[in-house]
Structure formats: structure tokens, C-alpha cells
Amino acid sequence: MRLLATSLPVLLLLAAAGCAQQTSSAPVSNKPSGTTQNLTGFDTNDYPGDDALPALRRHFAFAGYWLTNPPGEHQNGWQGKRDALLKNDFGFLVLANGKFDAEIKKAKRSGTSPAVLGKKDAAAAVAAAQREHFPARTILFLDQEEGGRLNADQSGYLLAWTEAVAHSGYLPGVYASGQPVDDSPGKTITTVQNIREQVAAQHLSPIAFWVYQDACPPSNGCTMQPPPLASSGTPDVAAWQYAQSPRRKELTAACSKTYAADGNCYAADLPKIMLDLSVARSPDPSHGR
């Protein structure tokens, strides 16, 4: 997805050595290599079209699949497209749009608490997953665009959403930042770390994570040869989004040449489809087939 600005200043951890600037568009193998698979997937706010799916499948094992309108959009082109993706043998990262802090606070001023809003949005995501015929125990990821430590309203909303999904027959997941940001003097935190701390402290249902961290390094930029999932900097995640369109210039200077001149990420044979790239060990990280 195309991310908006994070809620806290980003702490740049770019090492002096540049990340590998690979531009190969060779198809990614979807078979195990040794004992560890590192499979590549894509996501984009706009549905790429049925005709593009065979070409995308030559590169990618799985696709991000929006249950709701993507951020900033007023319609969802992915709706009703699960069968088309299945026919092309794609796995899934299933996600639903989450509320920004300003939206949560606006609802709160109107009398809707963050927890009530989270439960309402969870119910909408579950209903959409059912309409799209995703099976029980598919992981539904909440799109948490704002990074850094979550405030009380954000946490109340997010954790109400994940708990509601956990009791729906589906499994809760969160798409959140793995980019370290300043938290206190001499210390940093990531959004995933903050959420995990709160889940543990409150003894809540386990959450799967799709982490975004496009800084180079640990990312190697817009390349069809993904970095190992284990190098994301966040342990035990279902998937790692390692490249975004458009690229965040302050984080990707070391791998800028892997992106197109306009700052976006494309597959070489699909020059009009802006892509975000992710890596996972499973060809179906949401278990949505």
C-alpha cells in the first residue's frame, strides 16, 4: 500500500555501506530452496486487472488483497476478485483499512469510543471476508499506517479490532511499521514491538504481523530477488514489506537505483503497475486459499 507519513520522526539507521542494487526481473521461484523459502509477493491499492495476473504470477507467489477501500480511496477494485487470483495460483495477504488517529479522535468526540469503532470496523472486515469466501482461520491484517508508539486511542481501536476478529472464526493480524523511531532518550521503538508489549501485558489473543520496513539496509530495495525474511529486524513475522511505491527518499538513498526514475517500484515487464513488494516463507501467508 502507499503509506502516508508516520506519526513520529523516523530514526534513520542507514549504514554507510549501500544495499545491493539489483535490477534483475527474473521470476522468483515458488519452490523451496534448501530448507528455507523466501517467496515474493506484491500489493497495490489499485487492482491490476485480470489480464495482468498471469504476468504478475511469473514473479510473485502471493498478492495483497483488500477487503475494504484502500487508504484514501472511495472504492475497492479488489472486491470479487478472489476467484481470479485463485485461478492464477496466487496466495493471499488479506487486509482491511484501519482508522488514522485523527479519525479515531473525531469519532470519539461524536460519542463513539475507540473500542466501539474498532469492533465496528472488525465486523465490517469479517463480513467482507465472508462475502469473498475466505475460509475460516484466514489471517485478516489491519492496516496500521501510522508508525511509532501508539497512543491510548490508537491502541484502544487496534486491540478492539484484533480481539473482535479473534472471536469471529478468522485470525487477527496487523500490518505495522518495523522502522525504529525515537521513543525516549537513547531508546527506540517500533510499532510492532509496541503492539506486542501491549498484547502480552493484557493477555490478549495472539496477533500475526506483516511488517513494513523499506529502509536500505535491511531492505535491498525494489528487486525481484527478496532479502531473507529473517533480516527484516523484526522476528517472527508472517511477511515483510521491503519495498514501497513511491519510495521514501529519506530511507532508501542507499538503494535508490533499484527504483524507477519516478521513485516507484515496477516489474520490468509491467512498467505501468506501481508495486509494493513483500517476502514470506509461505506462498499463502494469510492461509486464505
Digits of tens for pLDDT over the chain (289 positions)?
644 433 333 333 333 333 333 333 333 334 433 346 899 999 999 999 999 999 999 999 999 999 999 998 999 999 999 999 999 999 999 999 999 999 999 999 999 999 999 999 999 999 999 999 999 999 999 999 999 999 999 999 999 999 999 999 999 999 999 999 999 899 999 999 999 999 999 999 999 999 999 999 999 999 999 999 999 999 999 999 999 999 999 999 999 999 999 999 999 899 999 999 999 999 999 999 9
**Measured distance CA(246)–CA(2) in Å, rounded:** 7
Q: What is the pLDDT of residue 36?
A: 66
Maximum CA extent, the chain? 55
Q: What is the pLDDT of residue 184?
A: 87
**Residue 189 one-letter amino acid:** I
Q: What is the pLDDT of residue 173?
A: 98
Q: What is the pLDDT of residue 1?
A: 60
Q: What is the pLDDT of residue 26?
A: 35
- What pTM value is reported for the model? 0.88
Q: Using an 8 Å Cβ cutoff, are 138 and 126 in contact?
A: no
SS (H, E, C) the chain: CCCCCCCCCECCCCCCCCCCCCCCCCCCCCCCECCECCEEEEECCCCCCHHHHHHHHHHCCEEEEECCCCCCCCCCCCCCCHHHHHHCCCEEEEEEECCCHHHHHHHHHCCCCHHHHHHHHHHHHHHHHHHCCCCCCCEEEEECCCCCCCCHHHHHHHHHHHHHHHCCCCEEEEEEECCCEEEECCEEECHHHHHHHHHHHHCCCCCEEEEECCCCCCCCCCCCCCCCHHHHCCCCCCEEEEECCCCCHHHHHHHHHHCCCCCCCCECCECCCCCEEEEECCCCCCCCC
Q: What is the pLDDT of residue 14?
A: 31
**Measured distance CA(198)–CA(156) in Å, rounded:** 10
